[in-house]
Each structure stands twice: as structure tokens, then as C-alpha cells.
Amino acid sequence: MSSAVVIDPYAPSPGFLQRHARPLAATSVGLLTAFLTVVAFPPYQVPEAAYALLVPGIYWAYTRPPWRLFVTTLFVAQALAWTILLGWLHNVTWLGLFLLGPFVGAWVGSWFLAARWLLPRMVGRTVPVRLVAMIGLAGCWVVIEWTRSWLLGGFPWLPLAASQWERTSILQIAAYTGAYGISFVLVMVNLGFGAYAHRLFREGVTGINKRSQEFFLALFLLLACVSVHFQESFNRRGYSVPWLKIGLVQPAIAQEVKWDPARAPAILETLTQTTLEAASRRPDLLVWPEAVTPMAVRGDASAQAFVESLIKRSQVPLVLGSIAIEQPRTADEAWYNGAFVVTPEEGVGARYYAKRRLVPFGEFVPLRPLLGWIGKFVPIGGDFMAGETSAPLLVVLRGQPTVVGPLICYEDTYPQLARFSALSGASALVVLTNNGWFGEGGAAYQHAAHAVLRAVETRRPVLRCGNAGWSGWIDEFGVVRSVVTNAQGSIYFRGSRVVEVTRDVRWVDRPSFYVEYGDWFVAACAVLAVFGVLLLRSSEGQSVGNPAEPSETSQKLN
């Protein structure tokens, strides 16, 4: 006997919001996620957005949206956000931008898959289970960020921690956990806000039970970061002492003329003028940016003679970025992107630093048998060779041997490279870079944010010299102490500045916890992520205070 469906003719018809609830939710979550992700990072000055950029997706995940809709929405949001954040890449290649932006977005956004699976299962569980699962989910974010430093060659650009480069109060835990600890805390705060919002608006709890233990755990971790800040960096009086005067030279050589032999005399004249201008203020050390000379300072006698003559005139030692050609004009010829020390007495030093992390399609073509047709966008030489050692450079300053650890171009986005330089005895890190490829957009500020993280992790001052900006120096606690700008306040100009560098005597020749023990925190996060999943699975069917939500098998995965 079949039962007929009775339709009430007087029932009100569904309204617009009811009929379009899912598309409206997806659109709202996608747009808000993309917007908050973009403005959280430089050059936009809204770092507080990093505390909420995951909240729309987290809150939506709690409601068990269809998997296909959820995944599609968050992928589009992340692809859009990262294409905007990497928009400066269009100065080199539009194709690369539209490939890399969505790829990085999918890589970062893969975390939402874990959130969609885990968060609905947290509803109604006991407090310990929910907190452990929450910690495991934050640990999952850290593991994903860590994979970006090595998987497929690595692209660790803009970890979540980089959003806080101008907020030193949360940065100090990086000296213990690396920058991954900052990202962990930010994700925990996002999860805390999301859990609190779900508890208030979806679980129907009232009174004192509205309190969210997830939120209070996140708040506790945030306060712990602030307490480390007060303990280690707030009270610095008597510890920060004058150290060196550094002359930073920005020749602002345009990329379209940099490797044109006909423009070499003009480039050398620019280097001469800006260098002598800086030397006239009697710094202890001059610094030039990456690959600044139009010829190889090692392997080209005329380039070497030019640099040595100029430094003899200036009577100030120099650290510069240039090309090294080993065994030139032979079958074994090898090109390196290097950093060199030049002194008035001895000229170009025999030892130099060779860049360890090369830029794909800039300095080499990955998988050349398959992708060789693409070629390099740097129109010199063949594939560069990678350096194999983190051995720093030695230069005598104020009569004392001073050890500096060079990082060339985007090497300062790799925590381990800076760590190895500090382990090798570097008293300071020197970043030589050329952001001239990427115009005057956000690339220079995004890149500089990584140098702040490296300073805190290693507790070493970071001196940074760019071809046309961002140049300046950052102290051991991530405080940007000086930025080289012109009269109009722009970092993009040709000229030089001399900056007074101090150092904290508490950290002279002393390694930070992170330098000593490396990425222990990543391993801990991996263990926590697995433990959180296992604990949640073992407690399936156990709920407290809330009815169990419908199982996922009852939903259509459309």
C-alpha cells in the first residue's frame, strides 16, 4: 500500500535565500576567503586579516557542505588569491603567473580537505578530543607549509607567518620553532574563531556553555607568544650596542639593459657614482646587490680589474653579488651566481659563496630533456650550477674578523639555508637580491618579509641590499631598523645610504634554539596531526551535549 505525498496548498513558497542558500554560501565563503588572504600579506598592511582568513571555510566546513561544492569553492578562492599575490610575476611571464598562482593556491588550499573531513566530526565530542583534533589540524597546515620548501624543487614564498612581518609581538617564538610556529598559532586562532562561531550560531547552546574551549586554547597560545616577546625583546636596554656602519648601494639597473654589452660602460659608471657616494660617508663595509656587474667578476679580467680599482679608490671593503665562471672557454665551463669579498689591499678574494638554491627558468631549466624548449628568461650563459656549501665569507671590519653569511635572491625564503649559515659561524646574514625583474609592485615587500623571519629564527642581524629596493637592515628580533628610501619615501630609486647597525650582545656567537635543533617542530606537528586523526576515529559515536550529525554517507557528494 503506497502512501501519497500530501502537499499543503497554503504553505508559503520558499523564499529567494532558501532556494539559493548553497550558491550564496559558496560565493560568500569564496570571495571572503580570497579577499582576506590577499590583504593579509604585503604589500597590503592588514596583517590582522591572517587571524580570520581561514574562518569562512572553517565555519562552512562545520555545516557539512557537499564535498564537490566545498572543494571547488575553496580551490577557486585560493587560486584567485594567489594569482593576485603573485601578480608581479607578469613582468616576466603572464603564462608563468597563470600557471603558478592556481598551483600554489591548490597546494596551500589542500588544507581545507582535511578541515572538511575533520571539523564536522568534532561536533559534540568531549573537550580533550576536540582540542587534540584542533591541534592536529593546525599541525597539518605546518606540514603542508614545510613541503613547500622542498617538494617539486620548492616554492616556500609567503608562508602564513610572513603576514606578521611588521608585528614583532608574535614573531619571537620563531627562535624556538622556526617560522612554522607562527603559522601554527595563526591557524589555531582561526580554528578557535571558527569553533566559537559554530558554537554560537549552529549548535544552539545557551548561557555559560557558549564558551568555546577551542577559542580559549588559541587565546592562550597567542598570549604565550606575547609573553615571549616581552621576555626576550621588549627589555633590550643595555644589551643593544653599536656595531658597524654599512653602505648599501642601489644602482637600479633596468633588466632590459643589464646584459646588453653596449650598455656596460653606462652600468659601470652608475656603479662608480653610487659607490663613491656611499664611500664618502666612511662606512665600514659596502654592499652591492645580486649579479650587479655586467660581466663576471670571476672569469672576466676586465670586470675584476674594474671592481678592484673602484674599491681601492673608495678604501672601503665590499661584499657584492656577481657571476663566477670557472674554467672558462673549456668543455668544463661552469657558471655560478656568487657573492664575493673585495678589499682595497687584496682585491677580489679567492673564496666566494655560490648560490645554493637556483631559480627555475631563471638560472636553470628543470627537466631540460622535457622542458628545454621553454628556455631561461635570464639571457646569459647556460644553466647555472648550484653551490654545495654554506661556508660564510670572512671580512676584516674595524680591525676584527667578521663572518657574514650570504643569501642570494630568494634563498632567504628557505629557513634551512639561513640556519646552516648561522651554524657555520655567521655573525650576520647578508641578502643580495635583484627584484628589478618584477617591477614596483608587491614583490619587494613580500620578499623582505622573509628576511624578518630569518632574523628571528637565527637571532642574527640581516643586512639586505636590492638592485632597486627593498634595502635596509633587520635586528635579531625581527624589527626593521632601517629601510633605504628616497626623499619621497619610495624604496624604488637609484642611490645609496649608510645605515648604523647594532647588535644584541646576548646573541653574539650564541645559536638560537631553532639553529641548534632545526625543524623539530615540523616533526612534532606531523605526529600531532596523525594522533589527532586516530583519536577522533577512536571516539566515533561518542558525543557530549549535542546529537550526532548525519553521517557523510547520507549526503550526495555532488
Residue 10: all three cell numbers together: 497554503
In the three-class reduction of DSSP (H, G, I as helix; E, B as strand; rest coil), residue 497 is classed as strand
The CB-side HSE value for 527 (13 A sphere, CA atoms) comes to 5
Residue 268 near residue 211, CB atoms below 8 Å: no
User: Is the Cβ–Cβ distance between 342 and 325 less than 8 Å?
Assistant: no
What's the confidence (pLDDT) of residue 21?
65
pLDDT value, residue 373: 45
Phi (first) and psi of residue 466, to 5 degrees = -110, 155
Determine the topology of domain 240-364+376-510 in CATH.
Nitrilase/N-carbamoyl-D-aminoacid amidohydrolase (3.60.110)
β 495-504/240-250 pair status:
antiparallel
What is the predicted pLDDT for the residue at 558?
36
Smallest Cα–Cα separation from 284: which of 208, 332, 344, 221? 344
pLDDT tens string, the chain, 558 residues long: the values are 555 555 656 555 555 545 556 888 899 999 999 999 999 999 998 999 999 999 999 999 999 999 999 999 999 999 999 999 999 988 888 888 999 999 999 999 999 999 999 999 998 889 999 999 999 999 999 999 999 999 877 899 999 999 999 999 999 999 999 999 999 999 999 999 999 998 888 776 655 456 789 999 999 999 999 999 988 877 777 789 999 999 999 999 987 787 788 889 999 999 999 999 999 999 999 999 999 998 899 999 999 999 999 999 999 999 999 999 998 878 888 999 999 999 999 999 999 999 998 877 666 555 555 554 455 555 555 678 889 888 899 999 999 999 999 999 989 999 999 999 999 999 999 999 998 778 888 899 999 999 999 999 999 999 999 998 899 999 999 999 999 999 999 999 999 999 999 999 999 999 999 999 999 999 999 999 999 988 888 877 555 444 444 444 334 433
503 - beta bridge partners?
Answer: 241
Is residue 237 left, alpha or beta, with left meaning phi > 0 and alpha meaning psi from -120 to 50? beta
How far separated are the first and last CA of the chain, in Å rounded?
Answer: 33
What is the pTM for the complete model shown?
A: 0.91
Give me the pLDDT at residue 204, please.
63
Q: What single-letter DSSP state applies at residue 131? A: H
C-alpha cell at 425: 659561524
Is it true that the peptide bond before 470 is cis, omega within 30 degrees of 0? Answer: yes
488 touches 201 (CB < 8 A): no
